[in-house]
Amino acid sequence: MENLGFTIIALIPILSIFFFLVLMRKSARLSMFISFIITLLISIFVWKVDNNYIVASILEGIVIMVSILYIVFGAVLLLNILKKSGSFYRIKKGFTSLSKDKRKIAIIVAFFFGAFLEGASGFGTPAAIVAPLLVVLGFPPLASVVVALIANSTPVVFGAVGTPILIGVTQGANNILTSEQIKLITNYSALINSIISLLIPLIMVLVLTKFFGKKKSIKDGLSLWKFSLVSGIVFAIPYLLTAFFFGPEFPSLVGSLIGMFVMVSLIKLKVFKDEKWDFEVKSKWLSEWKSTFISNNETKSKMSLFKAWLPYLLLSIFLLLTRMNFLKKYFVSFVITFENIFGTTLSSSLQPLYLPGFAFIVISLFCVLFYKMNYASVKYSTLNSLNVVLKAGLVLIFALPLVRLFIHS
């Protein structure tokens, strides 16, 4: 019975997060703060953790938080720079001329482009961008959100250039995993998710046609099974191979880019019959489908699609090169280390040149020069990005120390 009691106490930090965040529907910031305090009190009074270890665990969590916020800042900065330069507007316009079949547009935008955004940025970026983009393209707001969230599934494990595995799993396992173990986790994750990804496009289309189509029919979704299945295949194969041969940074990026290129090419070559499929006119939409859509502050542009996509292409090349051994050794050589924090056995470190945040910032600076952006646009993009980081930081500053306390107590 004593062991059962300790087991229940050990679960309290996890249960408290579930209680406040899910059941009580409190904000993430408040939920994490309360759960952190609960975890701290349990560590002190139940597990009798040494004070130095408690402080060291909290500081370790803060170091990890800095790593994540560094990536978030870079990713959001690049996105904001692209919006203000007009590049993102041009990418968005490129989707509108693809097909008169909204089902195919959903797959290209939500599944492929969403996966690319997940691979490049992560941290909620895909849903935040894809859903409004679909609304602009004529989708009901509720349908846009549903489709975006279904699509943002299999790419997540390799989101933000591998952050869930490189930081989440590695740091979560207290940095005891060997490179072979990380590779094994990467391979198994890729294998499982690649199998699931074969069905995601079809599931998206079935939900779209059943709940939001004119006929409310699954049959309308099944009629697109060939296009959906091929979409899943051309994403899954490069996704899986990239994970096996290059590691966790690139599967979502490469799978989405190759898959999107193949499917867009097949659409343009008219390999698949382009039937017109659309929603009812807006006046016939159910009230719960609708929402007040506020357009984001972005600049319009008539630049070429190649010029618009160039920053993401350069980002992929930059990240790929810095992960190859002949260059990797230089980028990992600069390390900020915190060893034996407060005299404990706990240590933590940062590799600012190797973390994806550095690549995002470099490409952002390139965009400022390449697109000849003015000071006001750069200032807006930077301040907006810092605001996003601040909001995320107010949650992570409690969440990550909570996790480290939970692990070390």
Q: What is the pLDDT of residue 294?
A: 45
Measure Cα distances from 373 to 46, 365, 381 in Å: 57, 10, 11
Residue 251 CA to residue 337 CA, distance in Å, equals 29
One-letter identity of residue 2: E
The whole-angstrom separation of Cα 237 and Cα 46 is 50
What secondary structure letter does DSSP report for 292? -
Q: How many CB atoms lie within 10 A of CB 68?
A: 24
What is the 8-class DSSP label of residue 334? -
Interatomic CA distance for residues 31 and 48, integer angstroms: 24
Q: What is the DSSP letter of 20?
A: I
For 149, half-sphere exposure in the C-beta direction (CA atoms, 13 angstrom radius) is 7
pTM of the entire structure? 0.76
- What tens-digit pLDDT sequence spans the chain (409 residues)? 567 888 899 999 999 999 999 899 999 999 999 999 999 999 999 999 999 999 999 999 999 999 989 988 988 898 889 989 998 888 878 877 788 899 999 999 999 999 998 888 776 668 777 887 788 788 898 899 899 999 999 999 998 888 899 888 887 776 778 889 999 999 999 999 999 999 999 999 999 999 999 989 999 999 999 999 999 999 999 999 999 999 898 899 999 999 999 999 999 999 998 888 988 877 777 776 765 444 456 677 788 989 998 988 888 788 778 877 788 889 989 999 999 999 999 989 899 998 888 988 999 999 999 999 999 999 999 999 999 899 999 999 999 999 999 998 8
